[in-house]
Amino acid sequence: GQNIDQPTEMTATEGAIVQINCTYQTSGFNGLFWYQQHAGEAPTFLSYNVLDGLEEKGRFSSFLSRSKGYSYLLLKELQMKDSASYLCAVLDSNYQLIWGAGTKLIIKP
Amino acid sequence: GAVVSQHPSWVICKSGTSVKIECRSLDFQATTMFWYRQFPKQSLMLMATSNEGSKATYEQGVEKDKFLINHASLTLSTLTVTSAHPEDSSFYICSAREGDPLSSGMSYEQYFGPGTRLTVT
C-alpha cells in the first residue's frame, strides 16, 4: 500500500528553527510537495522536490532523499504566523497526489 | 497567476436538500480538477478526479450518485451533494491542474481553491 508518515504535532519557539520530517512508501515517485494550511483555509504551495538535495526558498527549505524515501521541511527564524499545519504529499506513478496526515506546528513566543 | 475560486465559501442547508459547489480556474485552463473533503483536524481526503469532458473518477468509498461532479469546461467544475445529511458536513476543497502531466514541460502543481464549508442541519 501507499503510506506517508509525518509527526502529528510539533512545538517550537518564535525565532528558532524547526525541521518537519516526512517518510513515504508509494507506488512510483514523481516528486514531493510541501503545503502549508492554516486552520479553516485551503492549502498553499510551499515547495516541490523531484531530485535529491536541498531546495532553499527564503526562510523555508525542503530536502529530499529518494533512496531513503525521506524529506524534510526546514523553517528558520520562526514567526507566529508560521503556526499552521504542514502537509507532505507525494506524486505517485499515476500522477496522483498521496497526502500525509499533516503536522500541526505550534509556535510559542 | 494560477488562481482558483470556489463558490459559495460557506453554506448551511437542511437535511435532504442538495447543494452545488462551483470551482473555477480564473486565469488558466484546468484539464484536471480534484475534489477533496476535510473533516476537522484531519488531512485532505481525495473524493474524485475530473477531466474536462469526461466522467469523474471516484475514490473508493465515495458514492458517485451522492456526490455528482460535472467538469463541463476547462475552467469550471461543480460538485453537487445530493440529499445532504448532517454527516456530509465538512470542508470541501477543489484544486486544479493545468494541462497533462504526461506532456513535456508540465507543472504538476495543484492550485487550490479557498474551500467551501458545508453545514447540514
Q: What pLDDT score does B54 carry?
A: 82
CA A39 to chain centre: 16
Residues 6+ apart with CB under 8 A from A35: A43, A44, A45, A46, A86, A87, A89
Least CB–CB distance from A41: residue in B109, B110, B115: B115
Q: What pLDDT score does B42 carry?
A: 82
Distance, first Cα to last Cα, chain A = 40
Interface mutation target, options A33, A38, A96, chain B, most CBs of B under 10 Å: A96
Task: Give contacts of B33 with chain A, Cβ < 8 Å.
Answer: none
Q: What is the 3-state composition of chain B as percent helix, strand, coil, each rounded to the nearest 5?
A: 0, 50, 45
Least CB–CB distance from B43: residue in A31, A91, A99: A99
How far is A61 from B54, CA to CA, in rounded Å?
Answer: 39
Burial (0-12, 13-18, 19+ Cβ within 10 Å), A35: buried
- State the DSSP string of B57-105: EEPTT--TTTEEEEEEETTEEEEEE-S--GGG-EEEEEEEEES-TTSTT
Q: What does the pLDDT look like over B8-66, one tens digit per residue?
A: 999 999 999 999 999 999 988 888 899 999 988 788 899 999 988 788 999 999 999 99
Q: What pLDDT score does B104 carry?
A: 46
User: Nearest residue of A to residue B106 by CA position?
Assistant: A95
The yes-or-no verdict on residue A93 having pLDDT over 90 is no
Q: What pLDDT score does B2 carry?
A: 82
Q: What does the pLDDT look like over B68-115, one tens digit per residue?
A: 999 888 899 999 999 999 999 999 999 998 865 555 445 677 889 999
Which single residue is written with the C-alpha cell 462551483? B22
Task: Give the minimum alpha-carbon distance from B41 to chain A in angstroms, rounded to a whole number.
Answer: 9
Q: What does the pLDDT look like over A33-90, one tens digit per residue?
A: 999 999 888 899 899 999 999 999 999 999 999 999 999 999 999 999 999 999 999 9
Whether residue A45 lies within 8 A of chain B, CB to CB, comes out as yes
Least CB–CB distance from A91: residue in B44, B93, B108: B108
Whether residue A83 lies within 8 A of chain B, CB to CB, comes out as no
Task: Give contacts of B44 with chain A, Cβ < 8 Å.
Answer: 43, 87, 99
